[in-house]
């Protein structure tokens, strides 16, 4: 039990920090964050890899991140950005934020891990102002049955070892089921093995 806590709380956030620095994430992040504006809520802020791609129209970021280590690793990136960043909670499933208080929400490589995705998306709908949008970049279930079968098989191992991460969540379906309309959606595979690398990239708005 102690060993698992050390892995989960101290080692895994550092591994995720390195993994999220992959060069082939740069362009998807840039596309996803283009058009972000105003008062932003970012769930799964992690160690701040998105900060380098936020446009000037982003006025403030309220970051939701449960990991103390990830928040500490984010400090140099926060210091390097000109956008005010404040940590605004630990749990995307229960945002300590007012209704209709955000112009934009951001989620990148986060919906794979949140235990109750529907609840987290309900919270994002609650905090977005009328006309607000959710910009998302997530990995999830492939439409290729040969890939999807391995995603299903390997998810229990992935979930246990990598902090609850799922390979096989149908991100677009989860968004629409939660009351979002897909304004833009682009799908692709990152280079490398297909099981972890099918991307959902786009913009959604509450309806």
Q: Name 203's Cβ contacts closer than 8 Å, sequence gap at least 6.
A: 35, 133, 134, 135, 136, 182, 183, 184
CA angle 195, 24, 181 (to 5 degrees): 70
Where would I find the beta strands (DSSP E) of the chain?
38-43, 58-64, 85-87, 102-108, 128-139, 180-189, 198-206
pLDDT at 17: 93
Which residues does residue 39 pair with via DSSP β-bridges, in sequence order? 60
Model confidence at 4, in pLDDT bands (50, 70, 90)? confident
pLDDT score for 106: 98
- What's the pLDDT score for residue 59? 97
Q: What is the pLDDT of residue 1?
A: 63
96: its two tokens: 């300590």
* Cα distance between residue 157 and residue 154, in whole Å: 6
Task: Quote the pTM value.
Answer: 0.95
DSSP 16: H
Q: Which CATH number fits domain 2-206: 3.40.50.11540, 1.10.3720.10, 3.20.20.210, 3.40.50.150?
A: 3.40.50.150
Number of H helices and number of E strands within the chain?
Answer: 7, 7
Contacts of 86 (CB under 8 A, 6+ apart): 60, 61, 62, 63
């Amino acid at each position: 039990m102690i060993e698992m806590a050390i892995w989960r709380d101290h080692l895994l956030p550092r591994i995720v920090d390195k993994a999220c620095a992959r060069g082939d994430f740069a362009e998807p992040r840039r596309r996803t964050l283009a058009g972000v504006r105003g008062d932003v809520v970012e769930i799964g802020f992690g160690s701040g890899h998105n900060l380098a791609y936020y446009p000037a129209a982003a006025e403030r970021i309220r970051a939701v991140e449960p990991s103390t280590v990830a928040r500490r690793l984010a400090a140099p990136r926060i210091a390097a950005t000109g956008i005010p960043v404040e940590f605004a909670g630990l749990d995307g499933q229960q945002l300590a934020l007012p209704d209709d208080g955000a112009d934009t929400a951001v989620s990148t490589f986060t919906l794979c891990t949140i235990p109750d995705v529907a609840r987290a998306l309900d919270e994002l709908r609650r905090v977005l102002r009328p006309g607000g949008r959710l910009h998302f970049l997530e990995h999830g279930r492939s439409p290729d049955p040969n890939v999807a079968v391995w995603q299903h098989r390997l998810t229990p191992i992935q979930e246990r070892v990598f902090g609850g991460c799922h390979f096989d969540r149908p991100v677009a379906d989860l968004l629409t089921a939660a009351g979002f309309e897909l304004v833009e959606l682009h799908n692709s595979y990152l280079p490398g093995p297909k099981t972890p690398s099918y991307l959902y990239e786009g913009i959604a708005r509450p309806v």
